[in-house]
Structure formats: structure tokens, C-alpha cells
Structure 1
Amino acid sequence: MNEAEQQRALSLDRGLFFINYKSAEDSVSPPRVIVAPAKGHERHMEIILHPDATEPTLYKPNSGLVVRVNMPATLQVQVQPTKPGGSRSAIVRVEQIQAGGIPSATDSDSGMGPHVATEGLKVLGHVAGRGDIVVGPNAWIAGPAAPSRVEGVALEWPDKPLSVDIRYAVQLANGQTGSGRMVPLGAYAGTRGRALPLTGVVLEMSGTDELRFVAEAGFLNAPTLRAVGRRVVLSGPTNREPLVGIRIGIERNATAEVAATPAPPPSRKPSGGSPRVRVFRSQQRQIGAAR
């Protein structure tokens, strides 16, 4: 197995994080967990060890270390067996630490405050016969109460966290020019005044594991579709039905789990069972964090 198959990359915003080695599948010979900045991110973070530790390696469950991130950066979490053919299955929890009652730099600089997921997003939709309509998060444009052909969309989020990147695309009837082309936040995707309905919408978010899209769409003669995730694809049963209503919101993940399942060596399966490293990103709270 190569190194890339045994490690997980985590994008962290500015702040203080506790890396907690929670448990291992093999309690007798648990794998070790190695923590390090991603290449090129060494100057963006500092790893704080226990006074008796000499390297950023956790050798058994119920151990941990602290990472101080000065600017958004990527942390590598790698799991290695302690003996040939040993288990490589471990659960690691990443918990953000905040000083109680003191506004954090994460809240002010990157925008990852407790209410960021429900504030500030604006969605524009161009509706046939009605023109441009602008709504807030989780509000319908056209939709079940007033279905009408939607010909284009645009998203605005002035208070977007700096680390978050959002792109989106629309599918146009008959594969017209511009169909499927990803555009950045603020750009208009679709047409106006050409009677070309949308037949699909794609939303993508990167730079965070803490936020996700929650979107619903109505397509002509089809049930309302709901999708949740950092990448959302909305389309009708045959991908040809016109879009007649849409609403888009962004929310904080209630439980954000990142799991990596490395493949076993081709020659034999490790005796410790199926190898995996499961990394949990915890939601913020006043002291410590728990997901």
C-alpha cells in the first residue's frame, strides 16, 4: 500500500484544534497515528506536543495533541500498523477549541460563526413571464405553489467564509451553449428571454467539511426532489423535464464524518481486519468540541 492510501487530508481554518485518538480496532497492538502539516503548509501551523513527547505521533487510543493553525491550512493524518500485517483501523476525532466567551478569529476572519450557514445567502432566479426574482436561503423561486419555467440562476453570499469556494452550473434544454459550464459565486448561469428552460442544476462547495447545501427542486410532472451535500445535482427523471421551482440553502453539518478506506495489499489481507482510518470533524462549542 502506498502512503496516499493510508492518510487523510483535513482542511482546517484558523484556530486551535485537539487531535484525539479515540479508539482502535486492535486494542492489543493498536496502530499509531502520525500528524503532520501537508507539504507547503508547514509555516501555517504549529503542533503542540505533551512535554514528554518528542514527535507528533500518537501510539495508543485516549491520547492526543493540539494543533495551532495561524491561517487556513491542510493537516495530514496518517495511520500505520505497529507490526507487519497489523491493524490499520483507527478512529480519530478533530475538535476545535475555543476560549469561552471570547470572539474567535475563526468567527471574524473566516466567517465560521454559529449562524453563518443560515445568513447572507441570496438566490436569484429568472422566471418566465416574471423576470428576475431574488430570495433568501430556503425560499422558493416559483415552486409548488406557483410553478413556472426557471431559465437561469445566480448565487450571492457577501459574508461567505474566506476558505469556502462555491461554483454551480445549469443544464439547458437541447444542450444549448453554456450548458454544464461551472461558474463562480455571483455569476449568472442560464439565459433570459429565450424560452430555454433549465433541465438541471449542479451546486458544488469546497474548502470546508462543516457546511453543506440543502436544495429542493420541482420539475414538470415529477415529484419534488431534495438533495443535501457539498455537491448537489438536481434533475428530473429523464434529465429533460423543465425546472419549475427551486430553493437553495446552506447549513452547518450536524454530524460531519470523513472516512477513508485504504485498500489492502494485493498479496494478502492484514490480520487486523479491514483497514480504515475514520476522522470525525467536531462542531464548535464553548469549551472543547463534540460531534
Structure 2
Amino acid sequence: MLSLDRGLFFINYKSAEDSVSPPRVIVAPAQGHERRMEIILHPDATEPTLCKPDSGLVVRVNTPATLQVQVRAMRPGGSRSAIVRVEQIQPGRIPDAPDSGNGIGLHVATEGLKVLGHVAGRGDIIVGPNAWIAGPAAPSRVEGVALEWPDKPSSVEIRYAVQLANGQTGSGRMVPLGAYAGTRGRALPLTGIVLEMSGTEELKFVAEAGFLNAPTLRAVGKRVVLAGPTNREPLVGLRIGIERNAPSEVVATSAMPRKSAGSARVRVFRSQQRQAGGAR
């Protein structure tokens, strides 16, 4: 699942691990989001399926929506490892005015971020930026999170929300920096997380999340939405950081072991074109 804001996006099938029998990449709106976007195909194409590397299509998103990207092997037991790049097509605009002194300085201490995660059987775990809570090496149910950033610039606002299993009370409710989102001691794993940042164009979230029996997602941007393929998989690993803005990307790679004979790795990159005088 890939959360997209309003805009125009180029879905580019870049490469595959198996060049002889590359997997197919199937693109479709998430259920219920069909009217929020339009998939623009090549004149010779009849369905939103990319059959080999160096092929692509365009997605026009009218209102924020979720895009589903699936990879299917071409033969039984075949590879499902592919790299797909999602590039936002930027309209031309006048570059932002130079910093008047109210912007965020280069010295901002993004390493001061602290992330608390309540892990089943282990309790509260506090880590710094870009450090795993549970994660691929030791997956375990994450039941709640909280973010702290003592050195946060005053102009920056951060909010976040979690999705609880079975839609329990508190699911989807945005909370401010420092607040705890989730449960403790109720055996209710998180099934999704949303991170939002406003008040700056210079910073972005860099987050990774592992969901049980699903690829590990890496998301970059001012608004990050992470969830498993069906939105029901328990969150079993999380790490969050904040970095200075640069062309952003979203990466999904398999971190959980699979029993199938074929490789099952999907890598999805989201990037944005540089603009004259600045970049998001």
C-alpha cells in the first residue's frame, strides 16, 4: 500500500532480480479509493499491469488516496523481486523566497528525537532516531508508540496516529508530540501508523515498519502512512528518524522469512523531481 497526495505520479518498473522471467507489477487503487484516482495507460495497453522492466504508467490522484502495488511471479516458484519507482511529476512554479530568518537553521538537532514503543512481553522501549524497536532481527508485537523531541523547532508541529487491531477505540486518532498512542497490556497489536509534520518544508520523516509475514516498508516524507498489505497485519518492528529534505523515496523490502521457493522482495521508491532553487 502506498499513500499518495493529490498530484500526478509516474509508476516506473525499473528492474527485476530475474531478468529472464521477470515478475509482473500490478497497479490498482485500494478498495474504496477507485474514484479518487485515474490510471493512465499506454495506448497499446489494456490493463494496469507492467510485464517487464523499463515499462510504466501514470496515475492522476484527485484527492489523497492509497495505491496498491502488487508483484506476481511469471511462473510457479518464480521470483517476485522487483524495483518500482514512483516519481511525482511536479508542475512548474516560482521558487520559494530566500529564508528571511524565520526558517529552520542547518544546525537543527534532529538526532534529539526519541521514540518509545511498547512491545509485547518486553514493555516500554525507548530508542533514538533510526533505531529499531523490535524489527527484522527480533520481530515482536508493537502495541503503542510515543515521540519526544526536546529540541524541536518551535515552528514545527508533529502529530501521529496508530491503527489498532479490530478497530478498537483510539484507532486513527491524531495525537500531539509527547502523547502515547496505543494500548498497554491488552494484547492489541498496532496494524498501522501515520506520521505528520507541518510548519516546515525543510524536514521530513524517514520511517521503516515491519508487519507480520509482509514486506518491511520504508517511507520518507512530511506525511507517512505505513500499513501491511491487508491493513490487518500486526506491526512487529518500527524505526523513525527525521532528516533534512531531499528527493524523497519509499522503499519496501522483504525482511520476514518466507517458505516459498521463489524470492518475494518488492522495492518501491518514491522520488520527487528537483525544482529550481529548492527540492522537497
Q: TM class, shorter-chain normalised?
A: 0.5 to 0.7
TM-score normalised by structure 2 residue count? 0.55
**2:187 aligned partner, one-letter code:** A
Correspondence for 2:149 among 141, 150, 157: 157
- The answer to whether the 8 A contact 1:198-1:243 is kept is yes
Out of 75, 97, 104, the residue aligned to residue 94 of structure 1 is 97
What is the CA-CA distance between 1:89 and the residue it aligns to?
Answer: 6.2
Which 4+ stretches in 1 moved above 6 angstroms?
A: none
User: Distance between the aligned counterparts of 2:135 and 2:108, measured in 1?
Assistant: 25
For 1:140, the aligned partner's letter is W
CA distance in 1, matches of 2:92, 2:125: 50
- Partners of 1:93 and 1:202 in 2: CA distance: 28
The answer to whether the Cα contact below 8 Å between 1:206 and 1:230 also exists between their aligned partners in 2 is yes
Per the alignment, residue 250 of structure 1 pairs with 242
Question: Are 1:123 and 1:135, in contact at CA under 8 Å, matched by a contact in 2?
Answer: yes
- 1:96 maps to amino acid: D
The one-letter code sitting in structure 1 at the alignment partner of 2:246 is A
1:25 corresponds to: none
Partners of 1:114 and 1:90 in 2: CA distance = 25
Q: Deviations over 1:140-195 (max 9, x none)?
A: 00000110000000000011000000000000000000011000000000000000
Matched, 1:176 2:168: yes
Q: Give the structure 2 partner of residue 127 of structure 1.
A: 119
Aligned residues of 1:143 and 1:246 also touching (Cα < 8 A): yes
Q: Write the distance in 2 (CA, Å) between the matches of 1:160 and 1:248.
A: 15
Alignment partner, residue 185 of structure 2: 193
1:187-240 CA distance string (max 9 Å, x none)? 000000000000000000011111110000000000110111110000000000
Greater Rg, structure 1 or structure 2?
A: 1
- The equivalent of 1:218 in structure 2 is 210
What are the ranges of 5 or more consecutive residues in structure 1 without an aligned counterpart?
1-87, 98-104, 257-277, 284-290
SS in 1 for 2:112: coil
Q: Secondary structure at the match of 2:218?
A: strand
Q: Distance in 1 between matches of 2:221 and 2:242?
A: 9
1:102 is aligned to: none
The unaligned stretches of length 5 or more in structure 2 are 1-90, 249-273
The RMSD of aligned alpha carbons is 2.5
Distance 1:89 1:188, change over 3 A: closer
Q: Is the 8 A contact 2:158 2:176 kept in 1?
A: yes
Q: How many residues align?
A: 165
2:106 to 114, 117, 136: 114
Corresponding residue for residue 57 of structure 1:
none
**Contact 1:117/1:211, CA 8 A, preserved across alignment:** no
Offset of residue 254 of structure 1: 2.4
Q: 5 Å matches for 1:63-74?
A: none
